[in-house]
Amino acid sequence: MDEINVHSSRNANPSTFKDAEESYCLSWCPSRYQFPMIVVGCGKENSAKIFRCDQNSKWRSCEILDGHQDLVHDVDWAPNMGRSYQLIATASKDTRVRIYKLTGNKDGFKVDAVAEFLDHDREVWKVKWNVTGTILSSAGDDGKVRLWKGKNNIDY
C-alpha cells in the first residue's frame, strides 16, 4: 500500500477484505506542529508505513517502519509533550513490541528502532501510550498487560 484515498461520508463504500490474514490499523500524529500524518500497520507487509498529506491533499507513503517477522496488529503514535522527536509503537503477531524514534522535519524523517520487547509469549494485539507519551502498555494472547517506561524518555 503506497497511497490512501479519502472519501466523504456521502460517497463512502464499505471495504471488503478478501484475505482474513490482512489487517490494517492506524494512529494519527498528535503533534500540532507537523502537517497531517498517520502511521498505518500494513498487514502482510509485516511493517507499518507513515503517510503524509501533500500539497494536493493526497496521502503518500513517506517512511517504512520494518523489523517485524509477521503481521502488525496495532500501532500507536506517542504524544510528544515537548520532545524534539516522535515515538511510534507497534504490536505484532510475531510476539514483539517495537518502538521507533523519528527525528527530522517537514522535508523527511530519520527512522530508528530504539527498542524491541520479546516478553510476550504469544502474539501482541494492542499497544497504547499514556497521555504524556512516557509509558507504553501492551496486551496480547498470553493474557498479560505489560507496561514499559523508558529511562531518560528514550532508553527502554
pTM here is: 0.83
For 152, the grid coordinates are 531518560
The pLDDT tens digits for 81-137 are: 888 899 999 999 999 999 999 998 767 789 999 999 999 999 999 999 999 999 999
How would DSSP label each residue in 51-88? Answer: EEE-TTS-EEEEEEE---SS-EEEEEEPP-TT-SSEEE
Quick one: the chain helix, strand, coil %, rounded to 5? 0, 50, 50
Reduce the DSSP state of residue 117 to 3 states and report it: strand
pLDDT score at 54:
79
CATH H superfamily, domain 22-149: YVTN repeat-like/Quinoprotein amine dehydrogenase (2.130.10.10)
Q: How far is CA 116 from the centre of its chain?
A: 14
pLDDT score at 16:
40
* Mean pLDDT rounded to a whole number for the chain: 83
* Angle formed at CA 82 by CA 89 and CA 65, multiple of 5 degrees: 25
The pLDDT tens digits for 35-55 are: 788 888 876 789 999 988 877
Query: What percent of the chain has a predicted confidence (pLDDT) above 70?
Result: 79
Dist. CA 49–CA 86, nearest whole Å: 14
